[in-house]
């Protein structure tokens, strides 16, 4: 399940229909009342029916049926439960006893949970419109469900340091210093997020809260303004929506939203972007990997079996324990696999060897204190041993690490799987090694000989250095990427002195090559890819040439160092022009330049999507990635990098840049739907709006009625107030209002929620140029949330209803409303699919 909602649709529908028929009880619950699982239609409701407390069928359904006593949001979305989800049979009751205590009792009469408020003078109970169940002595609150949370936090609820959310072995806590942590078994911290580093105070009593508009923030008496932790992807959007934070049984912390009465929930934010990085997700000795869409759990080889064949998440066990092994114990090789450890091996003084993997394996085999090991293949040659105990594995074809675990021989590899295969390939491997060594020795011998000759002939030549530079220039001119050595680049950058910026993929420095070419050198971070893949990607990027794309000159790949050398753009990135403050207004771009930039950017992206040989989905289009040369031509940068960085997540969703770039991400990123070139179109639309308005699309201010700027702009556009959207700083300049109108219309077509409603990039260019007429765009977010699966379906009155059905088909029919204008604004869907394939299927193996 992508969304891990734990609410089955059929149940929700059932509850929803039951609720509507339910007899609403009085607001105040008096001692002596009770609820019965046999009669789930009777509930205790809040004054305006927003929340209600009652029995709901447990999820997943059981046979015979069992029930939990839960507080649910209108529509049947549970946000609190008595006894943290303890299930009762149909004879179960929830009793508010005259003694003032609230008690969950099983059909057998056993007490499963008690609020322990006997003899504390409780005289009444109530559930309020925020969803808080309160037990009171007069007006004094004795106990409340907000102070005793289970796995969720709703707006209005204060989550403080002493509180904890739990789900199975997982828990979520707020630390006194303001850090948020996710823990496994109360010991392993697998997610830890500190406050924004600009917050430089020691907190005294931090409180975590979720604002109803979807912002998760920490408040503290020491902070003048709340420190924001996360935004839900639909934050500040209007509507009768409940947003809530929930720790799932899969160990991930998410923000969901649910429209009133719908009973469905949609994921809006997740703490751990790569589910396989949740510690213990697949249980002890289980290995997490991805099928095309979802994380799946399995065992390392057939020497292991699932603890519970019905639930692969329970982990694996050895078929034969090591201590009982009659044969010899051997090491199972697991390529592309890592045993997770938190903090990561490289950050912690975990026991390691540096004697080479062979010695390391032998050592482990001979020691009962070693069960397994991981070699990160990071060029350090270190291997990290694991003591017997819980092991949590992660396998991905793109991961360079290898792992080894003791098994009772012989190794029986998994059928048709890339996991655990080495045993019977050993001989073959050995032979391959010999061949490789012989070939290398020969090649090196020849090279040394040739080099020797060359040096002998050239040592007296004064032009030695110049020759090398000329050779590099020749290579540059021929279009092939030049390979630089690390020392050479270090020298050209004067030891990383002049930093130009820090993008999502790493810091960028200015450098001057031996031939006086000024370059921008990007020092990539988080590359887990092997040398070969890296070179292949570099070749692809550097073979992509277009006037509106930043040109890659060369690269460096040495040990852990991966650097890319780009042509230098004199005028820097677009954001510094768009969002320049008053003092820097010398940097303001006039309308003509802006339109030129918008068009250039669109042409560059069109080339990436539709015209070049290996189509590329950029994945991170934003003003920071649009550079301007000395003539203010737009050049798109950072294309092709999404594939390079963090390939271990095959969906390329864990990009560091993506984490930070809210506002430009298409909704499908957060809904875990396929990323296609249409996702770039969405980001482009947002950038285009910013080019017109000079304001960030996600900005919320009084001037925009506390709405996201993009939403506000659409309302103004509907009202015909185009002038109100245009950058105020252009007010006394010559602005071509026809161009502005086209740009704004294109924006709203580009940011349609449904990818199939967005035009192809080539069509965007034509629309901007005025070659194609533009129909009035429908409301970009005319959305009715879809099924419990979380997929959003758009049903908009302005869009032909057929278009939703055409979602997976090539797009033309989705723009049938355009055909009235005589020209279809769409090229065929073929290119979209091509571009998708290059991103999604580019499994480096
Ligand atoms: C509740 O009672 C049923 C039978 O009456 C029993 O099977 C079940 O285990 C009990 N549940 C708990 C949590 O005690
Ligand atoms: C109530 O008290 C019992 C017995 O002391 C304890 O086991 C239980 O955890 C308490 N319940 C709550 C909700 O604190
Ligand atoms: C209930 O509240 C009253 C008035 O505030 C107080 O006098 C009484 O002691 C309380 N009862 C208990 C059991 O705390
Ligand atoms: C119910 O009450 C809450 C809190 O007062 C309020 O935020 C919400 O809008 C109300 N809902 C309806 C449908 O009246
Ligand atoms: C949460 O904290 C705020 C500010 O301290 C307070 O006004 C509010 O009443 C608290 N809410 C609850 C439910 O305790
Ligand atoms: C969780 O921790 C406890 C003690 O800290 C330990 O006894 C238990 O085995 C651990 N659970 C798992 C599944 O490892
Ligand atoms: C808080 O989190 C940050 C990471 O965001 C980490 O560097 C820091 O060590 C954490 N502090 C504590 C006390 O865990
Ligand atoms: C930290 O806060 C500053 C100012 O409030 C903000 O500009 C910056 O974007 C924040 N950084 C992060 C990583 O959220
Ligand atoms: C926070 O507390 C530490 C240790 O008590 C102290 O060294 C530091 O100066 C404090 N920082 C601020 C900003 O008060
Ligand atoms: C991936 O696994 C999930 C859950 O096990 C399953 O529902 C889905 O169909 C699988 N997808 C593919 C393409 O095998």
**Is pLDDT above 60 for 519?**
yes
pLDDT value, residue 604 = 94
- pLDDT band, very low/low/confident/very high, at 450 (cuts 50, 70, 90): low
The residue among 34 and 732 whose pLDDT is bigger is 34
Residue indicated by tokens 């571009």: 835
Q: What is the mean pLDDT of residues 152-165?
A: 96
Residue-wise pLDDT tens digits, 35-59 = 999 998 899 999 999 999 999 998 8
Binding site membership of 390 for ligand 6 (Cβ less than 6 Å) = yes
Q: Among 108-112, 244-248, 323-327, which stretch is predicted with the lowest mean pLDDT? A: 323-327
pLDDT value, residue 357 = 77
- CA-202 nearest atom, ligand 9: 1
Binding site membership of 733 for ligand 6 (Cβ less than 6 Å) = no
Q: Which of 24, 47, 50 for mutating ligand 4's site (highest number of atoms within 8 Å of CB)?
A: 50
Q: Residue 679: name the closest of 748, 617, 586 by CA.
A: 617
Q: Among 384-393, 435-444, 588-597, 764-773, which stretch is predicted with the lowest mean pLDDT? A: 435-444
**Is pLDDT above 50 for 421?**
no
Which ligand is closest to the CA of 46, given by its number?
4
Q: What 3-state class would DSSP assign to 502?
A: strand
The residue among 62 and 9 whose pLDDT is bigger is 62
Q: What is the mean pLDDT of residues 430-458?
A: 55
Residue indicated by tokens 């070139």: 677
Ligand 1 centroid to Cα of residue 88, in Å, is 6
What is the CB < 6 Å shell around ligand 2? 114-116
Q: Residue 152: name the closest of 231, 217, 73, 241 by CA.
A: 73
Residue-wise pLDDT tens digits, 544-578 = 888 899 999 888 888 778 899 999 998 889 988 89
Q: Which of 24, 27, 47, 48 for mutating ligand 4's site (highest number of atoms within 8 Å of CB)?
A: 48
Ligand 1 centroid to Cα of residue 125, in Å, is 27
- Closest residue to atom 2 of ligand 7, CA basis: 194
Ligand 1 centroid to Cα of residue 34, in Å, is 19
pLDDT value, residue 620 = 85
Binding site membership of 311 for ligand 10 (Cβ less than 6 Å) = no
pLDDT value, residue 443 = 55
Which ligand is closest to the CA of 226, given by its number?
8
Which ligand is closest to the CA of 123, given by its number?
3
Please, are residues 288 and 280 in contact by the beta-carbon 8 Å criterion? Answer: no
> Cβ–Cβ contacts within 10 Å for residue 609, how many?
25
Q: Could you tell me the residue ranges of all domains in the chain?
A: 28-144, 161-273, 277-408, 462-567, 588-821
Binding site membership of 199 for ligand 7 (Cβ less than 6 Å) = no
Binding site membership of 200 for ligand 8 (Cβ less than 6 Å) = no
Strands 133-137 and 124-127, sheet pairing: antiparallel
Residue-wise pLDDT tens digits, 583-593 = 665 678 899 99
- Residue 686 region by backbone torsions, left for phi larger than 0, else alpha for psi between -120 and 50, else beta: alpha
Q: What is the mean pLDDT of residues 369-398?
A: 84
Binding site membership of 196 for ligand 8 (Cβ less than 6 Å) = yes
Ligand 4 centroid to Cα of residue 712, in Å, is 24
pLDDT value, residue 89 = 92
Q: What is the mean pLDDT of residues 60-71?
A: 91
pLDDT value, residue 420 = 37
Long-range contacts of 49-53 (CB under 8 A, 24+ apart): 49/24, 49/74, 50/74, 50/129, 50/131, 50/260, 51/79, 51/127, 51/128, 51/129, 51/130, 51/131, 52/19, 52/22, 52/127, 53/94, 53/127, 53/133
- Closest residue to atom 5 of ligand 4, CA basis: 129
Q: What is the CA radius of gyration of the chain?
A: 30
- Closest residue to atom 6 of ligand 10, CA basis: 294
Residue indicated by tokens 């091996």: 345
Ligand 3 centroid to Cα of residue 139, in Å, is 10
Q: What is the mean pLDDT of residues 154-159?
A: 96
Residue-wise pLDDT tens digits, 599-636 = 999 999 999 998 877 778 888 899 999 999 988 999 99
Q: Does 161-273 match 28-144 at the fold level?
A: yes
Binding site membership of 359 for ligand 6 (Cβ less than 6 Å) = no
- pLDDT band, very low/low/confident/very high, at 468 (cuts 50, 70, 90): very low
- Quote the tokens at residue 775: 């129909």
Tell me the C-alpha distance between 788 and 1, whole Å: 11
Q: What is the mean pLDDT of residues 632-657?
A: 62
Q: Within 13 Å, how many C-alpha atoms sit on residue 27's CB side?
A: 9
The residue among 746 and 845 whose pLDDT is bigger is 746
- Closest residue to atom 10 of ligand 8, CA basis: 196
Question: 501 φ, ψ to 5°?
Answer: 170, 175
Please, are residues 788 and 265 in contact by the beta-carbon 8 Å criterion? Answer: yes
Q: Among 243-247, 523-527, 699-703, 729-733, which stretch is predicted with the lowest mean pLDDT? A: 523-527
Q: Residue 644: name the closest of 616, 672, 669 by CA.
A: 616
pLDDT value, residue 496 = 77
**Is pLDDT above 90 for 810?**
no
**Is pLDDT above 80 for 24?**
no
Q: Which of 87, 106, 109 for mutating ligand 1's site (highest number of atoms within 8 Å of CB)?
A: 106
pLDDT value, residue 453 = 52
Question: What's the CATH superfamily of 588-821?
Answer: Transferase(Phosphotransferase) domain 1 (1.10.510.10)
Tell me the C-alpha distance between 686 and 679, whole Å: 11
Ligand 3 centroid to Cα of residue 145, in Å, is 20
Please, are residues 794 and 757 in contact by the beta-carbon 8 Å criterion? Answer: yes
Counting Cβ atoms within 10 Å, is residue 7 exposed (0-12), middle (13-18) or buried (19+)? buried
Binding site membership of 592 for ligand 4 (Cβ less than 6 Å) = no
Ligand 5 centroid to Cα of residue 207, in Å, is 10
Q: What is the mean pLDDT of residues 116-136?
A: 93
**Is pLDDT above 80 for 471?**
no
Strands 482-483 and 552-558, sheet pairing: parallel
- Quote the tokens at residue 618: 């950029």
**Is pLDDT above 50 for 648?**
no
Long-range contacts of 157-165 (CB under 8 A, 24+ apart): 157/130, 157/131, 157/132, 157/209, 157/210, 158/207, 158/208, 158/209, 159/207, 159/208, 159/209, 160/205, 160/206, 160/207, 160/208, 161/205, 161/206, 165/246, 165/247, 165/253
Ligand 1 centroid to Cα of residue 108, in Å, is 7
Catalytic annotation, residues: 620
- Closest residue to atom 14 of ligand 4, CA basis: 48
Q: Tell me the residue ranges of DSSP E strands in 138-282.
A: 140-144, 152-153, 159-160, 164-167, 170-174, 180-184, 188-193, 207-210, 215-219, 227-231, 241-247, 253-259, 266-270
Counting Cβ atoms within 10 Å, is residue 689 exposed (0-12), middle (13-18) or buried (19+)? buried
Tell me the C-alpha distance between 572 and 275, whole Å: 36
Ligand 2 centroid to Cα of residue 237, in Å, is 41
Which ligand is closest to the CA of 169, given by its number?
6
- pLDDT band, very low/low/confident/very high, at 413 (cuts 50, 70, 90): confident
pLDDT value, residue 832 = 35
Q: What is the mean pLDDT of residues 214-225?
A: 92
- Closest residue to atom 7 of ligand 8, CA basis: 198
Residues near 226 by beta carbon (within 8 Å), at least 6 away in sequence = 217, 218, 219
Binding site membership of 179 for ligand 7 (Cβ less than 6 Å) = yes
pLDDT value, residue 619 = 84
What is the CB < 6 Å shell around ligand 5? 132, 146, 156, 158
Binding site membership of 198 for ligand 8 (Cβ less than 6 Å) = yes
Question: What's the CATH superfamily of 28-144?
Answer: Bulb-type lectin domain (2.90.10.10)
Residue 635 assigned as binding residue: no
Which ligand is closest to the CA of 140, given by its number?
3
Which ligand is closest to the CA of 199, given by its number?
8
Tell me the C-alpha distance between 208 and 151, whole Å: 14
Binding site membership of 192 for ligand 7 (Cβ less than 6 Å) = yes
Binding site membership of 201 for ligand 9 (Cβ less than 6 Å) = yes
The residue among 377 and 733 whose pLDDT is bigger is 733
> Cβ–Cβ contacts within 10 Å for residue 362, how many?
13
Q: What is the mean pLDDT of residues 395-421?
A: 77
Mean pLDDT value across the chain: 79
The end-to-end CA distance of the chain, in Å, is 26
Domain 161-273 falls under CATH 2.90.10.10: yes
- Closest residue to atom 7 of ligand 7, CA basis: 194
pLDDT value, residue 504 = 67
pLDDT value, residue 355 = 64
- CA-291 nearest atom, ligand 10: 1
Residue-wise pLDDT tens digits, 272-324 = 988 999 999 999 999 999 887 789 999 999 999 999 999 999 999 999 998 88
pLDDT value, residue 384 = 84
pLDDT value, residue 644 = 63
- Quote the tokens at residue 42: 């009777």
Binding site membership of 222 for ligand 9 (Cβ less than 6 Å) = no
**Is pLDDT above 80 for 582?**
no
Report the b/e string of 403-436 with b at 16+ CB within 10 A.
bbbbbbbebbbbeebbbbbbbeeeeeeeeeeeee
Ligand 4 centroid to Cα of residue 139, in Å, is 22
pLDDT value, residue 236 = 80
DSSP 573: B
The residue among 90 and 807 whose pLDDT is bigger is 90
pLDDT value, residue 816 = 29
Q: Which of 193, 195, 198, 699 for mutating ligand 8's site (highest number of atoms within 8 Å of CB)?
A: 198
Residue indicated by tokens 């589910």: 275
Tell me the C-alpha distance between 149 and 284, whole Å: 28
- Closest residue to atom 14 of ligand 8, CA basis: 196
- CA-91 nearest atom, ligand 1: 5
What is the CB < 6 Å shell around ligand 1? 86, 88-89, 106-108, 110, 112
Question: 69 φ, ψ to 5°?
Answer: -90, 115
Ligand 7 centroid to Cα of residue 659, in Å, is 18
**Alpha-carbon torsion angle 680, 686, 688, 692, nearest 10:** 180
91-166-280 Cα angle (round to 5): 115
Structurally, at CATH architecture level, domain 462-567 sits in 2-Layer Sandwich (3.30)
């Amino acid at each position: 399940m992508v969304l891990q909602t734990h609410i089955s649709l059929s149940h929700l529908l059932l509850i929803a229909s039951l609720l509507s028929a339910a007899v609403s009880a009085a607001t105040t619950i008096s001692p002596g009342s009770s609820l019965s699982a046999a009669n789930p239609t009777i509930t205790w409701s809040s004054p305006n029916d927003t929340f209600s407390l009652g029995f709901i069928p447990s999820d997943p359904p059981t046979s015979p049926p069992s029930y939990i006593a839960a507080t649910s949001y209108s529509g049947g979305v549970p946000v609190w439960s008595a006894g943290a989800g303890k299930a009762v049979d149909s004879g179960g009751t929830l009793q508010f006893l005259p003694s003032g205590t609230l008690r969950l009792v099983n059909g057998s009469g056993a007490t499963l949970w008690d609020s322990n408020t006997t003899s504390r003078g409780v005289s009444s109970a109530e559930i309020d419109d925020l969803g808080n169940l309160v037990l009171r002595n007069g007006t004094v609150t004795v106990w409340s469900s907000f102070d005793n949370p289970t796995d969720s936090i709703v707006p209005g609820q204060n989550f403080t340091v002493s509180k904890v959310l739990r789900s199975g072995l997982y828990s979520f806590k707020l630390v006194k210093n303001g850090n948020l942590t996710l823990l496994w078994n109360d010991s392993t911290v697998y997610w830890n997020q500190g406050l924004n580093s600009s917050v430089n105070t020691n907190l005294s009593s931090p409180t975590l809260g979720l604002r109803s508009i979807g912002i998760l923030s920490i408040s503290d008496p020491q902070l003048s303004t709340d420190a924001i932790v996360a935004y839900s992807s639909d934050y500040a959007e209007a509507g009768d929506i409940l947003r809530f934070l929930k720790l799932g049984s899969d160990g991930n912390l998410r923000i969901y939203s649910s429209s009133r009465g719908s009973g469905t929930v949609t994921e809006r934010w997740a703490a751990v972007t790569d589910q396989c990085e949740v510690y213990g997700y697949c249980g002890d000795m289980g290995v997490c990997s991805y099928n095309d869409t979802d994380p799946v759990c399995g065992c390392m080889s057939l020497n292991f079996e699932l603890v519970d064949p019905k639930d692969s998440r329970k982990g694996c066990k050895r078929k034969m324990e090591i201590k009982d092994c009659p044969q010899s114990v051997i090491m199972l090789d697991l390529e592309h696999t890592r045993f997770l450890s938190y903090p990561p091996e490289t950050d912690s003084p975990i026991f390691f060897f540096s004697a080479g993997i062979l010695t390391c394996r032998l050592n482990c085999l001979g020691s009962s204190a070693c069960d397994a090991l991981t070699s990160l293949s990071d060029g350090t040659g270190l291997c990290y041993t694991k003591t017997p105990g819980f092991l949590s594995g992660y396998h991905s074809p793109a991961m360079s690490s290898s792992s080894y675990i003791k098994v009772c021989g012989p190794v029986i590899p998994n059928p048709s799987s890339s996991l655990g295969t080495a045993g019977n390939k050993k001989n073959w491997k050995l032979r391959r090694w010999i061949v490789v060594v012989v070939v290398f020795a020969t090649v090196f011998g020849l090279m040394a000989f040739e080099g020797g000759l060359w040096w002998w002939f050239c040592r007296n030549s004064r032009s030695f250095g110049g020759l090398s530079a000329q050779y590099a220039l020749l290579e540059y001119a021929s279009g092939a990427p030049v390979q630089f050595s690390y020392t050479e680049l270090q020298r050209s950058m004067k030891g990383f002195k002049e930093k130009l910026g820090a993008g999502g993929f790493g810091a960028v420095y200015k450098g001057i090559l031996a031939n006086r070419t000024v370059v921008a050198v990007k020092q990539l971070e988080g590359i887990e890819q092997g040398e070969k893949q890296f070179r292949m990607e570099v070749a692809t990027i550097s073979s992509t040439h277009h006037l509106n794309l930043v040109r890659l000159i060369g690269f460096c790949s040495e040990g852990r160092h991966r650097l890319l050398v780009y042509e230098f753009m004199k005028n820097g990135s677009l954001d510094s022009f768009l969002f320049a403050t008053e003092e820097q207004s010398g940097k303001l771009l006039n309308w003509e330049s802006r339109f030129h930039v918008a068009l250039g950017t669109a042409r560059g992206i069109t080339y990436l999507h539709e015209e070049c040989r290996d189509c590329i989905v950029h994945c991170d289009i934003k003003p920071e990635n649009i550079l301007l040369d000395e003539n203010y031509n737009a050049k798109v940068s950072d294309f092709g990098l999404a594939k390079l960085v963090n390939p271990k997540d095959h969906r390329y969703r864990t990009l560091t840049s993506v984490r930070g770039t809210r506002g430009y991400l298409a909704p499908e990123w957060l809904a875990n739907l396929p990323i296609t070139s249409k996702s770039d179109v969405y980001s482009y639309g947002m950038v285009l709006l910013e080019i017109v308005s000079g304001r960030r699309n996600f900005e919320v201010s009084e001037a925009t009625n506390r709405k996201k700027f993009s939403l506000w702009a659409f309302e103004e556009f509907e009202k015909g107030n185009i002038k109100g959207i245009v950058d105020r700083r252009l007010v006394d300049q010559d602005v071509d209002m026809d161009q502005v109108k086209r740009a704004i219309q294109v924006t709203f077509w580009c940011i349609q929620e449904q990818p199939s409603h967005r035009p192809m990039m080539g069509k965007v260019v034509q629309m901007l140029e005025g070659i194609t007429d533009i129909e009035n765009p429908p409301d970009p977010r005319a959305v009715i949330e879809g099924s419990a699966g979380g997929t959003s379906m758009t049903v908009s009155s302005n869009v032909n209803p057929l278009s939703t059905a055409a979602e997976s088909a090539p797009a033309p029919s989705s723009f049938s409303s355009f055909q009235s204008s005589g020209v279809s604004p769409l090229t065929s869907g073929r290119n979209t699919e091509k571009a998708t394939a290059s991103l999604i299927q580019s499994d480096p193996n």
